[in-house]
Chains A and B, each alone.
Chain A
């Protein structure tokens, strides 16, 4: 039963009480979205978009012009600019904020679900988005919606600048729109397709190419605002000059021309039966097993339907199902969740403290310590803002068990011994955390006794088959 604390969160730390009612403990974390636990500076999305744009639109152009005849100097100039704009620092700061929520907040269950939704609505890494604004997008668009409806979450994500940019909707232009009158312009279906395939109804709903095209027409006009002086820093707006006039038909239903089309079509998509099934499947796959059964999904689908897609109710249903099947299924944990569980149980000095992170000033080169979380997650093969494709990271076990990925777990369990606290470097400490987190502590303690040194105990524990799963 104790693996439940890792299944739906990140385990019980050495100084925490083991909750007497695990299910109630988990369910109580899902109604509210508390302020972030991170005590350091938290930059706004707007601020980060501006830093990003200033770098790519203005400063980089200057550097390229200045060193256009010297490849070597150009390379140095670009690298310096990357340092000065904190390219390696920002994602590390975001990871620190994220990991603090998992390890040190009062709502780790909510954090684990936050990670799920951020991955469901993944932003493609391209064009330095990962370095500058995927983290802020996950904080400001995804997280505050975790106690709202799925419908609102989908809408806010769809018109967020990160997603609009990631899936090229600014280039999705109605061929009969005003802006296409003098210049030949047409639609870009990328965002429309993913809204159907990845975000809501999934291909199981049987949409056609014509549905995709029609949805793309509905979505024309939603684009980043434009101004010559502040290019790429403007918020997303609906510009009717780019909107395809006329009625559109998606899944046989007709939508009127204009701004309201998107909100109306999203309302219908999230109420489609395949959407409920798809979300239930993905939640079960994340928490319970690669191959969820119909029985598992049923209560989640019902909660979705009964609550009109209210996320706290969907989450509670999923957590209840995870609890019900806890002893029957143990899910192989993805690298980031594995790492955070190790960090939490072993009481690592992780992530870097707000004091350290706040020492960084824009314009200066980040220190190695400022970039450590970024290097760590990249090394693990699971940098959460670095999704190469809009379907995010896989939740299938087989995608996380290649030789290289298991090498990472062996190596990281060893190398991260440097993040332990000296007061914890004794076998008593390891026995304590094993008792708090495993149902058969005696067996695991016996296994740990094969270690000659404390760091060996750490390698053994965090590569134990019961720890790799939850």
Chain B
């Protein structure tokens, strides 16, 4: 049964009850809803993107990399000046922040952390599928994932026929040859290759828009706004690992945040009216140390922030239980602590977008781990 449990319990809408009885997806009665995940690789510094206001100790610990011209979010939090499109969405109540959160990974390795942020597991390299892939599978979605990169990220593995988009400026061989190759794949029982080839055959290779982040986001937005198009898109922004020369208003972390912000801008533009049915979340392996290091950078840390945007955001707010930055409040005396398993946010987002019961996601996607249903707090039903 694919009816959203919350809808079932709370709404009196006849359509929901009607479809519930027939086990049809409840989104059949509504607009198609989309989930976009932007992976921020290298460890996004939540304290740089969304710094706390008026904490003298924090300012002191980051004397060389403090921000100067911040944008104001709330009385307690500022925003990095590179995130101007995020701020515009915030002002329209379509962007929010979850602070002091992390995936349940306390080691400080990128590779283990990136594996776990995508797998959703609690042991590195254990899971061979991604939480988003398993969520899509649970929602009965096939061929509905789109990765804006050359390889297929672990995050959406676990459901067949995912697509990726990273165009090349050339043309495919003729259909006749593709048929011959496909037949040979089948004869050799190369099922995965054969299925991938059937996806490729539908690609228009005469159209080459380019491959920078904004262009890819424009294309993704177009595809997502198609009622028959993909419902999930995955982006990647790299180079957040700023051990040296992290910078303040300008610098490597600022450039990375700007790239994220440009993706947001392009998605907003190309999604059009579909933006109201979309959630755009960030995902990172860990935050960074509160204190700057010897190279005016920061080390691998723990707690960070999740940036959320889209029409399905309930209201602009900095969510979370702020743990404080005093020495004894820090994780292992060095990192922002996490007061929320970030997987609660992602499980809640999938519950909202895929119209799935939160408990089912918790059980089938996140191994029955203890997670909090935040759907009503963060997102519009």
Inter-subunit contact B164/A402 (CB<8 Å): yes
Chain A residues closer than 8 Å to B41, beta-carbon distance:
388-389
Inter-subunit contact A447/B180 (CB<8 Å): yes
* A465–B194 alpha-carbon span in the complex (Å): 10
Chain B residues closer than 8 Å to A190, beta-carbon distance:
243, 299
Q: Residue B157 contacts which of A189, A398, A404, A405 (CB distance < 8 angstroms)?
A: A398
Inter-subunit contact A197/B293 (CB<8 Å): no
Nearest CB of B to A95, in Å: 18
Q: Residue A193 contacts which of B108, B149, B178, B184 (CB distance < 8 angstroms)?
A: B108
Given A203-B124, A411-B172, are A406 and B108 also a contact pair (CB < 8 Å)? no
Inter-subunit contact A193/B177 (CB<8 Å): no
Say whether A328 faces chain B, with CB atoms less than 8 Å apart: no
Given A168-B244, A403-B203, A465-B193, are A389 and B294 also a contact pair (CB < 8 Å)? no
Say whether A466 faces chain B, with CB atoms less than 8 Å apart: yes
Say whether A185 faces chain B, with CB atoms less than 8 Å apart: yes
Given A126-B239, A190-B243, A404-B165, are A389 and B110 also a contact pair (CB < 8 Å)? yes
| B93-110 with Cβ < 8 A to chain A | 107-110
9-residue interface stretch from A9-17, A33-41, A456-464? A456-464
Inter-subunit contact A410/B172 (CB<8 Å): yes
Given A193-B109, A203-B112, A388-B238, are A404 and B294 also a contact pair (CB < 8 Å)? no
Chain B residues closer than 8 Å to A468, beta-carbon distance:
193
Nearest CB of B to A464, in Å: 6
Say whether B150 faces chain A, with CB atoms less than 8 Å apart: yes
Per-residue contact bits, chain B 290-325, to A (CB 8 Å; 1 contact, 0 not): 000111010110000000000000000000000000
Say whether A305 faces chain B, with CB atoms less than 8 Å apart: no
* A186–B292 alpha-carbon span in the complex (Å): 9
* A177–B173 alpha-carbon span in the complex (Å): 63
* A405–B205 alpha-carbon span in the complex (Å): 14
Say whether A19 faces chain B, with CB atoms less than 8 Å apart: no
* A379–B109 alpha-carbon span in the complex (Å): 29
* A173–B238 alpha-carbon span in the complex (Å): 26
* A468–B181 alpha-carbon span in the complex (Å): 12
Least CB separation from A402: chain B residue:
B152
Per-residue contact bits, chain B 167-185, to A (CB 8 Å; 1 contact, 0 not): 0101111000110110011
* A188–B291 alpha-carbon span in the complex (Å): 12
Nearest CB of A to B44, in Å: 15
Inter-subunit contact B239/A381 (CB<8 Å): no
User: How many residues in A have their beta carbons less than 8 Å from beta carbons of B?
Assistant: 51
Nearest CB of B to A269, in Å: 16
Say whether A70 faces chain B, with CB atoms less than 8 Å apart: no
Given A389-B111, A410-B172, are A460 and B243 also a contact pair (CB < 8 Å)? no
Inter-subunit contact A405/B180 (CB<8 Å): no
* A451–B180 alpha-carbon span in the complex (Å): 9
Inter-subunit contact A203/B109 (CB<8 Å): yes
Majority SS of interface residues in chain B?
loop
Q: Residue A456 contacts which of B177, B196, B243 (CB distance < 8 angstroms)?
A: B177
Say whether B192 faces chain A, with CB atoms less than 8 Å apart: yes
Given A171-B295, A188-B294, are A403 and B243 also a contact pair (CB < 8 Å)? no
Given A126-B239, A193-B108, A402-B164, are A410 and B178 also a contact pair (CB < 8 Å)? yes
Say whether B190 faces chain A, with CB atoms less than 8 Å apart: yes
- Candidate in A170, A190, A408, A413 with the most chain B CB atoms within 10 angstroms: A190
| A379-431 with Cβ < 8 A to chain B | 379, 381, 388-389, 391, 394, 398-408, 410-411, 413-415
Given A168-B244, A188-B294, A456-B177, are A401 and B192 also a contact pair (CB < 8 Å)? yes
Chain A residues closer than 8 Å to B171, beta-carbon distance:
411, 414
Say whether B163 faces chain A, with CB atoms less than 8 Å apart: yes
Q: Residue B150 contacts which of A173, A212, A405, A415 (CB distance < 8 angstroms)?
A: A405
* A450–B174 alpha-carbon span in the complex (Å): 13
Inter-subunit contact A391/B111 (CB<8 Å): yes
Chain B residues closer than 8 Å to A168, beta-carbon distance:
243-244, 295, 297
| A426-470 with Cβ < 8 A to chain B | 447, 450-451, 456, 459-460, 463-466, 468
Chain B residues closer than 8 Å to A185, beta-carbon distance:
294
28 contacts between A and B (CB under 8 A): A186-B294, A188-B299, A193-B109, A197-B109, A197-B111, A212-B108, A379-B168, A381-B150, A388-B41, A388-B238, A389-B111, A398-B152, A398-B157, A400-B151, A401-B192, A402-B147, A402-B151, A403-B163, A404-B164, A405-B150, A406-B197, A407-B203, A410-B181, A411-B205, A459-B181, A460-B180, A463-B181, A464-B181
Question: B residues bordering A, Cβ < 8 Å?
Answer: 41, 107-112, 124, 147, 149-152, 157, 163-166, 168, 170-173, 177-178, 180-181, 184-185, 188, 190, 192-193, 196-197, 199-200, 203, 205, 238-239, 243-244, 293-295, 297, 299-300, 332
Going nearest first, the 5 A-B pairs with the smallest beta carbon separation are A171-B295, A381-B150, A402-B152, A465-B188, A185-B294
Q: A189-B299, A414-B170, A460-B180 are in contact. List 19 more A-B contacts (CB 8 A).
A: A168-B243, A173-B294, A185-B294, A187-B293, A193-B108, A203-B107, A381-B150, A389-B110, A399-B152, A400-B151, A401-B193, A402-B164, A404-B149, A404-B166, A410-B172, A413-B173, A415-B170, A456-B177, A468-B193
